[in-house]
Structure 1
Amino acid sequence: MRQDLRKKVINVCEKKIIAKGESVGVSFYAFFANRNDDPELLMEAATWWIKTHKLDHFEKAAKIKLMIESGL
């Protein structure tokens, strides 16, 4: 996953955790606007989420943040 997407994921997860607590869930769609303005980046996130790590549709934001920070 490219570095700018990693930063974006961490930022979004941190904001959601601050706003709603450690148990808040996210899906990979949380990292994108409602419009599909960057399909390549969306597919990169979806591939990382679904194919590479076989994650459920919703996962804890804290788990995703930790995964990204650890380089997965």
Structure 2
Amino acid sequence: MRQELRDKIIEVCDRKIQQKGANVGLSFYAFFKNKNDQPEVLMEAAKWWIETHRLDHFEKAIKIKEMVQSGL
């Protein structure tokens, strides 16, 4: 996964955890605006989330952040 996407995921996870607490869940769509202006990056995130790690639609933000920081 490209570093730009990793940084964005960590930023969004941190913000959501700060706003809603440690148990907040999110989907990979949380890292994108409501318009499809970066389809390649969206597909990269979807592949990482769905194909590579077989994650549920919603996962805990803390789990996703830890996975990204560990290089998974």
Q: TM-score, normalised by structure 1?
A: 0.99
Structure 2 residues not aligned, in runs of 5+: none
Structure 1 residues not aligned, in runs of 5+: none
2:2 alignment partner in structure 1 = 2
Percent same amino acid among aligned pairs? 69
Structure 1, residues 27-55: CA drift from partner, whole Å, max 9, x if none? 00000000000100000000000000000
Q: What code does the residue aligned with 2:5 have?
A: L
Q: Does 1:62 align with 2:66?
A: no
Deviation of the 1:8 alpha carbon: 0.1
Q: TM-score, normalised by structure 2?
A: 0.99
Considering only aligned residues, what root-mean-square deviation do their CA atoms show, in Å? Answer: 0.2
1:52 alignment partner in structure 2 = 52
1:40 alignment partner in structure 2 = 40
* Count of residue pairs brought into register by the alignment: 72
Once superposed, which parts of structure 1, at least 4 consecutive aligned residues long, lie more than 3 Å away? none
